[in-house]
Structure 1
């Protein structure tokens, strides 16, 4: 199955390049109990995930990242985005053996994540990795070019293992936006997605759409001005779940119908 998925990944590459912009997963989800505004973007298919679902195979997703993946700012581990994403996807796909593994660690940079890629990610034999990175590099004033080089190494290792990847950019938060390197890293992540032909889940743009829809940043961010709060993680998970379901070729009426966990 891994060889087949790797083959499907190569076939997917032309579909992931949408004009001159970085490929971005469709952000479209109904408003649930958390009052999350809906949004819509271009669709980037995940053909390997589609193949797994079509074959009735178990689906393993690893969420790799730093504190906003681990769940800093959430009231409990059940409120972080990987836990909510797992609940939403299991509800939408009741016949699928599905798990979302949280491989987020607070304070980490791309170098730290690369160092534990085998132990904390590939050891789970994932079908899909959602890789959130760049926030701590921004706060520490790191070099965007070094960040890109490390991320490319990681993407090559994941691709060689037949794993599909979705990149996630930084949150729209005061501490990120006020950092001098913020714009450089936004551009770096977009460039990485475009050049490596990897889907980018544009969290920063999603949060701007929330704001435009009347949901202010203060409603989705923790008091530290950096991480999400429970509502922010809930809205993030709902948008991401809807995007993944659409990317896997599922109709909107099969999307999340979950009561708030």
Structure 2
């Protein structure tokens, strides 16, 4: 059953998902640990996924809100897990860095009682010259607050866009997220690794980044959502069928 779902998601991700325009390049396997989500699926409980972050979560560069990655992710998960009672809420807000996200963590995220939070951060910290140590500490505080409530946390690093890679010391924010992932035992879904694999497969960053040199285009968001959906389903597994 899990192999069937994985193959289904591969076909959705690689064979022109909605908004992609062209087939998605091959994505590397990224392993996530989602115990709360897996338990909710197994017991038929409602699953609320919150996509938390800044403009590339909100969907800047997409042709409409339905082409932002959270909306596409929700559709893919409904297709792969049709029996799941699942919703994906977009809590991205353009221009924010981690300190501004922390100011709304309680009201926009925790108060909703999510099962899983996908936390995209780092791009604005890079562009604004935030101290990597301050970024690291603020993220650690937020992760601790989420996990104390039994919420699955998935970190997401920055897209490999021209404006990001030209910024001084952008690698230090990737290092901070990798350290947080290893030290706090929370999974990291790496767009850096994803886009490197896409490029190796013949799809350069320019094909999935819009004309502003920073945000994904529709294809980039769709292919990101496809790879993320595959990782979520692989980690959470299919829901248990009642009576079997």
Question: What is the TM-score with the length of structure 1 in the denominator?
Answer: 0.83
| Residue 210 of structure 2 corresponds to residue 222 of structure 1 | yes
- Greater shift, 86-95 or 227-236, is seen at 86-95
In the alignment, the residues of structure 2 paired with residue 235 and residue 51 of structure 1 have an alpha-carbon distance, to the nearest angstrom, of: 27
Q: Is the 8 A contact 1:45 1:249 kept in 2?
A: no
Task: Mark the CA change 1:189 to 1:51 in structure 2 (over 3 Å): closer, same or farther.
Answer: same
SS of equivalent to 1:29 = helix
Q: Is the 8 A contact 1:129 1:165 kept in 2?
A: yes
In the alignment, the residues of structure 1 paired with residue 165 and residue 44 of structure 2 have an alpha-carbon distance, to the nearest angstrom, of: 43
* Structure 2: unaligned runs, 5 residues or longer: 1-8, 240-244
> What is the deviation of 1:250?
4.2
Query: Aligned-pair RMSD on alpha carbons?
Result: 1.4
User: Which residue of structure 2 lines up, in the alignment, with residue 53 of structure 1?
Assistant: 41
> What is the deviation of 1:216?
1.6
User: Which residue of structure 1 lines up, in the alignment, with residue 142 of structure 2?
Assistant: 154
Correspondences of 1:79-94 after superposition (within 5 Å): 79-94=67-82
In the alignment, the residues of structure 2 paired with residue 89 and residue 228 of structure 1 have an alpha-carbon distance, to the nearest angstrom, of: 21
* Structure 1: unaligned runs, 5 residues or longer: 1-27, 252-261
The alignment of Structure 1 onto Structure 2 pairs a total of residues equal to: 224
Q: Is the 8 A contact 2:28 2:197 kept in 1?
A: no
Q: Is the 8 A contact 2:96 2:124 kept in 1?
A: yes
In the alignment, the residues of structure 2 paired with residue 42 and residue 204 of structure 1 have an alpha-carbon distance, to the nearest angstrom, of: 12
In the alignment, the residues of structure 2 paired with residue 193 and residue 165 of structure 1 have an alpha-carbon distance, to the nearest angstrom, of: 10
In the alignment, the residues of structure 1 paired with residue 65 and residue 29 of structure 2 have an alpha-carbon distance, to the nearest angstrom, of: 29
Higher relative CO (Cα under 8 Å, sequence separation at least 6) belongs to 2
| Residue 233 of structure 2 corresponds to residue 245 of structure 1 | yes
| Over 3 Å off, 4+ runs | none
SS of equivalent to 1:131 = strand
